[in-house]
Amino acid sequence: MIQEACLLVIICTAFVSDIRTSAIPNYITIGGLATGVIFQAAVYGMTGLFQAITATATGFLLLLLLYMFGALGAGDVKLFAAVGAWSSIPFVLSSMMYSLLYAGFIGLGILLWRRELTRRFFGLVMWFFRAILLRDKYVIKGLKQLQHIRVQITP
């Protein structure tokens, strides 16, 4: 019960901060991560410490990939690391799934409200089309260059 209450406080504080300033401060994320790991180790011993570290790494590393693509901010990545410190790997994974799903629905709703859905969808389709064509062009160009390379192997 204490874990859930602490996790709820961290998430609600991060939510309010994110809405007000479009940022999640480090004192929330790093503080939540540190207190979660300490709590798990103090209450559950080495098993709790191992669970906290693995769930933290899961939350951090999976969202780090989305951060590298520019899909989320660093505060979101650190927040899910803190969620992992207070919970478990299955909870982190299901939280990620629901968070991304809800974010997609909210984004779709915003696009519908602003009447930008068609324009954005067309832009996305064109981007994929160009990416596929450019990739194919470079593959063909690379294969043609390989035909001109001669390597002599002598025993």
Is 148 part of a structural domain of the chain?
A: no
Please give the share of the chain, as a percent, with pLDDT higher than 90.
57
Is 61 part of a structural domain of the chain?
A: yes
Range 83-105 burial, b when 16+ CB lie within 10 A, else e: bbbbbbeeebeebbeebeeeeee
Is 27 part of a structural domain of the chain?
A: yes
User: Which SS3 state, helix, strand or coil, does residue 154 take?
Assistant: coil
**86 within 8 A of 3, measured Cβ to Cβ:** yes
Is 91 part of a structural domain of the chain?
A: yes
User: 1: pLDDT confidence band, cut at 50, 70 and 90?
Assistant: confident
End-to-end CA distance of the chain: 71
- Please count the structural domains in the chain: 1
**pLDDT tens for each residue of 32-77:** 999 999 999 999 999 999 999 999 999 999 999 888 888 889 999 9
